[in-house]
Structure 1
């Protein structure tokens, strides 16, 4: 398909209908991107939920032991782990699953 320079002076909406690169294909591409973003957001929300559930399973004594080397109380350690679970849930899941198992 050759590029017709006379068409370039027309607004995009009037360039040969909706079947142009700027019409249907763009809308399909944007719809696919939105669907992918929604799926990724849902996966992230589920991972955060799982990480926070694992954090609930860790005892206060164990949190105190984990926080002691860096000078954190059990409450501060729980808050720090909750923050990590919100930002990087997969890292928190991996770490907390070991704590829940032991």
Structure 2
């Protein structure tokens, strides 16, 4: 038997990623004699997750825009990503003329501040 035969028979198992909170809670369970939650999670069959509704995206925003978005998010309690989706939806619901008027207004406001 060669070394390559040994390699083929070994099955590498990727260690399960566990959050710090789960690890600590499992250690507490172990200390008091309760069963492990992590082992239960590993042994349970995996469920198919529903298709993702959102995709991660990266945008470049000015410091002023980031501050304004932070302020709106804090005052409304709405997540920044949800706010951006709402703003985009609102803009797309406008007519072409309304979109152009809004863009002209925003560019005019930026020129006054700049």
Report the TM-score when normalising by structure 2: 0.28
